[in-house]
Amino acid sequence: MDRYFEKISFEQFQKEIKDDKDLYEDYMLPKRSTKYSAGYDFYAIEDFTLEPGERKKIPTGYRAKFLNDEVLMVFVRSSMGFKYNVRMTNQVGIIDADYYDNKETNGHMYVSLQNEGDSVFKIKKGVAYAQGIFIKYLTCGDNVDNIRSGWTGNPNRKEDNYE
């Protein structure tokens, strides 16, 4: 299989989410809701609430394996933006193929949401709140040999030191 989602390890789940084997066994992996859906729906592991103005980092419990010339782009569900004014704080999540093997995170993806609306926004366990789309990409012939092994930022790289 060229691409797939899987759960993070239970050890990573315990460390980052909760020490609850039943919860770990129970949550759903992403899936497309219709034959022609481009996106794989991400489902809430547990209920969560966003107060007006609140921002929250949501653990997905997922990691994704896919081809080296692909990227997984993560978007908020359209209806959440239109109906409730809830958005992803980075607008679009970009997951690179080598993130799967990240030793520090076990490839665990998060989604950061912010409630820009004026009412409380609630998501129940098992409800879709984001979607991931696999996309092929092209490069311009540059020769990069680095492969991710841990933290994604580089403290010596000017573009990773924002002020």
| pTM for the structure as a whole | 0.86
Q: What is the mean pLDDT of the chain?
A: 91
- Quick one: pLDDT at residue 41? 98
CATH topology of domain 4-138: Deoxyuridine 5'-Triphosphate Nucleotidohydrolase; Chain A (2.70.40)
pLDDT tens by residue, 33-66: 999 999 999 999 999 999 999 999 999 999 999 9
Tokens of 71: 């990227």
CA dist 132 and 38 (Å) reads 8
* Residues 12-39, mean pLDDT to the nearest whole number: 97
CB atoms within 10 A of CB 154: 11
Check pLDDT > 90 for residue 148: no
Domain ranges of the chain: 4-138
Q: What angle do CA 123, 124, 126 make, to 5 degrees?
A: 115
pLDDT tens by residue, 63-100: 999 999 999 999 999 999 999 999 999 999 999 999 99
